[in-house]
């Protein structure tokens, strides 16, 4: 092999013979016309030896099994530097053609796709990938010392080469590693799916799809995945699995009857169950599934949820607009929280609807028509309130100082107004008995719908007679006897209202 010094010496000698780069190369005979015959003969021998050594150098490089080589030759003309650049460009072009053929061959072996029958878009993708890899490889091109074949031909030759080891790392190993990363992600996703880890499987299938898109674009890549001996196209397999998993997840309610009070607070929260329906129709709980929750009708405050160990989740409805009699929640799996599904054609998922109903609110006014009789109706108020609460109704108390006529229906956050007016009378003595008093107590009940305050039901109860040693005790006796009929009448009046 030539040393750098020896090659430089030969180049300089050739340049001197060529007239210091500026002169046009002369024929071999003319090159020694002006030197003594003995020196001319010696120079011819030296130039011949130099050409032989250059050819041997080329031959040696071509036989080197560890290199990919490109060779370029150009006429020197009047400018050696220009000739060298032209030769170098030709050498790189030749090497690039070789590398592209090699890249295409390895790309076909790894992806198992030759582009035959592929769409124009896929074929363009393949071409772009080949050009990218070829360009990457050519960044490692090395250049040999050039030699001048002068004065025989007046040409300069340049060799460029790439170690095959560098190519293997940049192309073959890189392609294999990328393919194996995608295949391994798919296999891990299959394993998770088999183990009932549906959310984890979805994430890993998405990761595999993203990697394939990043590494290979739309170029199909084939591999054996699930042990059936068949080679699947990875992107199609991933798309099939993603659509299959998302399409088999179903949501259901574990409880029902969701009521909220006039402040918009729910009595109990809805509980959701997520199941994955297998091929046999059997359901498996889907854990760690994000849930998107929103109001399909009405408005209020609600936060997203996530299913737990048993595939269940309790929703967190903070409040419902109390001005609304009903509201509807919609619940769906929040697949967007797991990754990017934009590349997949998912079937529309029917949301789970959860009906919320405001508890019927009854504004209750219990009053005594004659305050001078000294009756305290709080006990009766408590009895009627208890009745209404047992009917799952919300009770809104009304100031006893108001009358049915003075109550403003628009100001009450209620659906109905129930009024109970106790009407005591009498209290005088019985006959000639100074210590025996008699009194009567009647009652009137009215039911109005709000906010219009339209009277829908009305009942006047017969008076109950009471006796006592004083007028006051007689009134209380009559009132006590009327209490049970009043409560019973209130229950009848509210029948059917829930």
CA distance linking residue 115 with residue 98, whole number of Å: 19
**Cβ proximity of 198 and 288 under 8 Å:** no
Same fold, 254-358 and 361-493: no
Residues of the chain with pLDDT under 70: 1-35, 47, 51, 54-55, 112-119, 122, 144-153, 432
CA distance linking residue 23 with residue 16, whole number of Å: 10
Q: Residue 118: its pLDDT value, please?
A: 56
How confident is the model over 87-102, as pLDDT tens digits?
A: 888 988 888 888 888 8
Q: What is the domain partition of the chain in residue ranges? A: 254-358, 361-493
For the packed helices 198-216 and 234-248, what is the interaxial angle rounded to 10 degrees? 150
Q: Is 275 helix (H, G, I), strand (E, B) or coil?
A: strand
CA distance linking residue 432 with residue 41, whole number of Å: 174
Q: Residue 147: its pLDDT value, please?
A: 62
CA distance linking residue 418 with residue 415, whole number of Å: 10
Give me the CATH code for the 361-493 domain, please.
3.30.160.180
Q: Residue 61: its pLDDT value, please?
A: 76
Q: Is 14 helix (H, G, I), strand (E, B) or coil?
A: helix
| Cα–Cα distances in angstroms (integers) from residue 9 to residues 85, 143, 156, 467, in the given order | 20, 19, 15, 144
Assessment of whether the complete model's pTM goes beyond 0.85? no
Bridging pattern class, strands 316-320 and 283-285: unpaired
Q: Which fold has domain 254-358?
A: Immunoglobulin-like (2.60.40)
Torsion sign over Cα 217, 223, 225, 228: positive
């Amino acid at each position: 092999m030539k040393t750098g010094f020896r090659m430089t010496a030969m180049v300089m000698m050739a340049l001197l013979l060529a007239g210091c780069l500026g002169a046009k190369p002369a024929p071999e005979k003319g090159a020694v016309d002006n030197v003594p015959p003995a020196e001319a003969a010696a120079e011819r021998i030296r130039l011949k030896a130099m050409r032989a050594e250059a050819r041997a150098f080329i031959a040696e490089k071509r036989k080197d099994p560890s290199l990919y080589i490109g060779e370029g030759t150009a006429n020197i003309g009047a400018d050696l530097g220009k000739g060298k650049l032209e030769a170098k460009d030709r050498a790189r072009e030749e090497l690039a053609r070789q590398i592209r053929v090699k890249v295409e061959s390895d790309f076909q072996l790894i992806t198992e796709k030759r582009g035959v029958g592929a769409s124009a878009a896929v074929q363009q993708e393949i071409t772009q990938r080949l050009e990218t890899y070829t360009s990457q490889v050519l960044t490692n091109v090395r250049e040999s010392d050039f030699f001048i074949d002068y004065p025989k031909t007046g040409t300069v030759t340049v060799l460029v080469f790439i170690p095959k080891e560098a190519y293997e790392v940049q192309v073959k190993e890189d392609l294999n590693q990328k393919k194996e990363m995608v295949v391994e992600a798919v296999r891990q996703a299959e394993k998770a799916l088999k183990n009932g880890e549906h959310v984890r499987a979805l994430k890993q299938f998405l990761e595999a799809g993203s990697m394939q898109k990043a590494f290979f674009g739309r170029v199909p890549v084939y591999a054996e995945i699930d042990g059936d001996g068949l080679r699947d196209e990875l992107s199609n397999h991933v798309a099939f699995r993603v659509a299959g998993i998302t399409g088999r997840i179903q949501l259901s309610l574990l409880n029902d009857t969701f009521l909220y009070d006039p402040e918009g607070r729910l009595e109990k929260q809805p509980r959701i169950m997520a199941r994955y329906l297998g091929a046999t129709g059997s359901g498996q709980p889907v854990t760690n599934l994000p849930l998107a929750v929103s109001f399909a009708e009405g408005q209020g405050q609600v936060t997203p949820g996530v299913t737990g160990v048993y595939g269940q989740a309790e929703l967190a409805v903070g409040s419902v607009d109390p001005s609304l009699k009903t509201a509807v929640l919609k619940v769906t799996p929040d697949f967007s929280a797991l990754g990017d599904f934009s590349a997949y054609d998912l079937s529309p998922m029917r949301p789970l609807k959860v009906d919320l109903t405001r508890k019927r609110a009854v504004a209750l006014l219990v009053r005594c028509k004659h305050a001078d009789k000294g009756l305290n109706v709080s006990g009766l108020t408590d009895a009627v309130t208890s009745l209404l609460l047992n009917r799952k109704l919300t009770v809104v108390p009304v100031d006893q100082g108001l009358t049915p006529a003075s109550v403003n229906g628009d100001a009450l956050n209620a659906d109905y107004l129930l009024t109970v007016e106790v009407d005591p009378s009498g209290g005088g003595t019985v006959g000639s008995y100074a210590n025996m008093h008699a009194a009567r107590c009647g009652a009137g009940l009215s039911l109005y719908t709000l906010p219009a305050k339209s009277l829908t039901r009305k009942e006047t109860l017969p008076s109950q007679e009471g006796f006592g040693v004083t007028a006051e005790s007689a009134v209380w006796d009559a009132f006590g006897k009327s209490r049970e009929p009043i409560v019973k009448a209130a229950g009848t009046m509210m029948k059917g209202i829930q």
